[in-house]
Structure 1
Amino acid sequence: MPLAILLSATDLSALLCSRICHDLISPIGAINNAIELYDEGIANEDALQLIRTSGVSASDRLQFMRIAFGEVSKKNTEINTSDVRNVARQYMSNEKTKLSWNGPDLLLPKKEVKLLLNLILLADASIPRGGHIDLTLQQKNQYSNFRIVCTGTMLLVPPKFMELYGGTFPEESIDVHSIQFYYTLWLAEITKMPLQITITRQEITFCAR
């Protein structure tokens, strides 16, 4: 279903930049706090460990978002999913949800890869208390097929996403908290991989093909 709202390129870029900053505030803030503790001579070893773990978390997030939201390379029009799988696993290692990645290594168009990573973010947001994401990636006759199944103690597709998915104007304007939902649906449109959602009491399934 076509998006009911169409953001300008400037607004889309600005909101995605804000989303990236929002996701990096936590690990970078933790590093800053740890440095202050270290400078004061308080819990030096704990402070150093916090710097290490927060630095890794920030790096994992940046690598993931570079592919999901940014431009990897203007020279290459395709990305190997083996690299994407490693980046996704590293990113999810910092989350409450576990990721299983199934499927062969493929060369996919960059925007399809972006859609795949954004579907992982959407799936993670749909299991707010943590759980499991089972991703299956296939390609037949050069057509890609993504299937992501979410399970957990609490299943809830974000309401703002469902408003956008339903083709209605959201009650509130798109902001830093909902721009990723819009971007996911925008990617599904331009890749011509419409998104289908199945919700049961046991699981939520996102399919794009």
Structure 2
Amino acid sequence: MTHADNPVDETLLASLLCSRLCHDLLSPVGGMLNGVELLAAETEPAMRDQCIDLLAQGARRASAKLQFFRLAFGTAGGFGSHLPAADLQAAVDAVAAEARDVTINWALAATDFPKDAAKVLVNLALLAIEALPRGGSVAIVAEASGNAHEIALRTEGQKVVFPAAIGQALDGLIPVAELEAHTAPAMLIRLIVERNGGRLQHQHDGNTLLLGAVVGA
């Protein structure tokens, strides 16, 4: 089955990406709600300070998630054609900080990236981070070559998880009816790369996951 034989319902994909966004925001927003409830009932100064810390932590986590998904799924940067590399690094680092002992090592040979290349980079980073439930490292390398941007990620850890459905989505081979919120980012990557005449590759071997993309011809 090729992607041409398996067209994606863009409305379904948008709905799944929204579901993913809502799922990831439930935890920090829920923590803020709990903090408000505790603060309203607490009179001890030390305990009220802890409630305020809980609220601040939830607000920081929610802000980091929103900034990341604005880059990954939205139209960050308004009408500009490029996004600063520093913004991409900050967003990915913030998501990695919420994971379990995940270290990001950067090697970006550009100060900014076209929006489509930026979107592919941060979504690939999301897949890499989520592949490390027990922690590990992600090396992210990106450089421009003519009109194309080459992006490569190497993920290593004690346990690297890469569900077959995500690989199928990257290859454009997953049946549309089987798309879910956790595979939707991989399908988004596929569609962006296809639209730009690029290519994708992935390889999962034991404790290592390699992800690569060329965005643009």
Does the C-alpha gap of structure 1 residues 113 and 30 become closer, same or farther in structure 2, counting only changes over 3 Å?
same
**Deviation at 1:167?**
4.6
In 2, distance between residues paired with 1:64 and 1:143? Answer: 23
Distance 1:79 1:14, change over 3 A: same
Taking the TM superposition and a 5 Å limit, the aligned residue runs for 1:1-150 are 2-3=2-3, 5-41=6-42, 43-96=47-100, 97-150=102-155
2: CA distance, partners of 1:49 / 1:61: 18
| Distance in 1 (alpha carbons) for counterparts of 2:176 and 2:17 | 20
Q: Distance in 2 between matches of 1:177 and 1:205?
A: 19
Report the residue type matching 2:70 in the other structure. Answer: R
Is the contact between residue 112 and residue 191 of structure 1 (CA under 8 Å) also seen in structure 2? no
Matching residue of 1:151:
156
Distance 1:10 1:143 in 2: 28
> Which range moved further: 14-23 or 73-82?
73-82
TM-score (normalised: structure 2): 0.87
Deviation at 1:12, TM superposition (A): 1.9
Deviation at residue 203 of structure 1 after TM alignment: 1.5
1:41-85 Cα distance to aligned partner (Å, 9 max, x none): 073222111111111011011001001100124421121212221
Q: 2:105 touches 2:140 (CA, 8 Å); kept in 1?
A: yes
Partner secondary structure for residue 98 of structure 2: coil
Displacement after TM superposition at 1:166 (Å): 4.7
Whole-angstrom distance in 2 between the partners of 1:13 and 1:203: 30
Contact 1:135 1:146 in 2 (8 A): yes
Deviation at 1:115, TM superposition (A): 0.5
Residues 114 and 44 of structure 1: CA distance in aligned 2, closer, same or farther (over 3 Å):
same
Amino acid in structure 2 at the alignment position of 1:33: N
| Distance verdict in 2 for CA 1:67–1:40, change over 3 Å | same
Residue 160 of structure 1 contacts residue 170 of structure 1 at CA under 8 Å; is this kept in 2?
A: no
* In 2: Cα distance, 1:37 partner to 1:179 partner: 36
**Residues 5, 176 of structure 1: CA spacing in aligned structure 2 closer, same or farther, 3 A cutoff?**
same
Equivalent residues, number = 209
TM score, norm. by length of structure 1 = 0.90
Find the aligned partners of 1:79 and 1:2 in 2 and give their Cα distance.
32
Moved more, 8-17 or 166-175: 166-175
Change (3 A) 1:38 1:67: same
* Identity %, equivalent residues: 25
Q: How many angstroms apart in 1 are the aligned matches of 2:176 and 2:114?
A: 34
Question: What one-letter code is carried by the residue in structure 2 that aligns with 1:78?
Answer: H
The answer to whether the 8 Å contact 2:169/2:187 transfers is yes
The letter for the 1-side match of 2:22 is C
Question: What is the distance in 2 between the residues matched to 1:200 and 1:159?
Answer: 13
Q: Deviation at 1:5?
A: 3.4
Q: Distance in 2 between matches of 1:13 and 1:166?
A: 19
Residue of 197, 206, 209 corresponding to 2:211: 206
Which residue of structure 1 lines up, in the alignment, with residue 201 of structure 2?
A: 196
